[in-house]
Amino acid sequence: MDSFKRIVVSSLGFALKTFWACLFISFFFILVVVTLKYAGSVKSSDLASWVQAVGSIGAIAGAYAVANWQIQKQKHQQEVQDKNRLQAMYAVVKCAAEHLESTRVFAVQRPPRVALNVFWQHMSGAFEASMEALKVLPVHELGRAELVINCMFIIGAMSKLQSKINQYMDSGTDEQLEETYTEIITHADLSMHSWKQFSKYAGINSDLQDYNI
């Protein structure tokens, strides 16, 4: 019932325009017929033929108008769906960029190992979820080669950063902490550069605090 109401409401404007157009044409045609009838220049049999011909033309024109309206409506709906799909894919990349930036900010402070351990216990789950979402992202549907390339760079940098942290958490020493932070920052910087390029070609705001598609 709700879908039927939406169809009725969305087609109301087109229906009113068609109604007024038909009304105007009918009035004009009747006026011409009456004028010719009283002028005596057209026989009744000829008028019937004219009425049938004009009616046929009107039916064809009406069918064309309805078909064209349906095509335009479907085209608009498809454009909206495509836009929403792209926005969803951009949001996945943006979420990954947020996790990378958070990790970079943490690494720049170079806290002790115990702090890294606590940070990664809280971040690793979200990090892994973003990685999985990026891996199943249909990048070929992003629409531009630049978007695909930069998205792949983000995936690569994120994977290396994750691997480096996990490796350190498994067998790293306190002496290796400084080097680990340096590598984390390097991979994060590379990924954030790719994110800015991705945002540029996607036409969106690269500022993670003010993200608008």
Interatomic CA distance for residues 17 and 39, integer angstroms: 33
Return the number of other C-beta atoms located less than 10 Å from residue 73's C-beta: 14
Average pLDDT over residues 166-183: 91
190 or 39, higher pLDDT: 190
Regarding whether 182 and 130 lie in a shared domain, the answer is: yes
**Which structural domain range is residue 44 located in?**
2-77
Regarding whether 133 and 39 lie in a shared domain, the answer is: no
Task: Give the pLDDT confidence score for residue 172 in this predicted structure.
Answer: 84
Contact between residue 197 and residue 150 where contact means Cβ atoms under 8 Å apart: yes
Contact between residue 194 and residue 157 where contact means Cβ atoms under 8 Å apart: yes
Average pLDDT over residues 143-149: 88
Who contacts 106 (Cβ-Cβ below 8 Å, separation ≥6)? Answer: 116, 119
Tokens 């004219």 locate to 50
Banded pLDDT at 203 (limits 50, 70, 90)? confident
Read off the pTM.
Answer: 0.64
Regarding whether 119 and 15 lie in a shared domain, the answer is: no
Q: Where are the alpha helices (DSSP H) in the chain?
A: 2-39, 44-109, 113-135, 145-171, 177-202
Query: Where residue 190 sits, what CATH number does that domain have?
Result: 1.20.120
Q: How many helices (H) and strands (E) does the chain have?
A: 5, 0
Q: Total domain count for the chain?
A: 2
Question: What is the amino acid identity at position 115?
Answer: A
pLDDT tens-digit series, residues 81-91: 878 888 888 88
Residue 210 lies in a domain: no
Interatomic CA distance for residues 107 and 163, integer angstroms: 15
180 or 68, higher pLDDT: 180
pLDDT tens-digit series, residues 89-110: 888 888 888 999 999 999 999 9
Tokens, residue 154: 């983000």
Regarding whether 55 and 8 lie in a shared domain, the answer is: yes
Tokens 């020493």 locate to 173
Average pLDDT over residues 19-23: 57
Who contacts 183 (Cβ-Cβ below 8 Å, separation ≥6)? Answer: 161, 164
Regarding whether 95 and 119 lie in a shared domain, the answer is: yes
Banded pLDDT at 210 (limits 50, 70, 90)? very low
Task: Give the pLDDT confidence score for residue 82 in this predicted structure.
Answer: 74
Last residue of a domain, one of 77, 110, 138: 77
Task: Give the pLDDT confidence score for residue 120 in this predicted structure.
Answer: 93
Average pLDDT over residues 104-127: 92
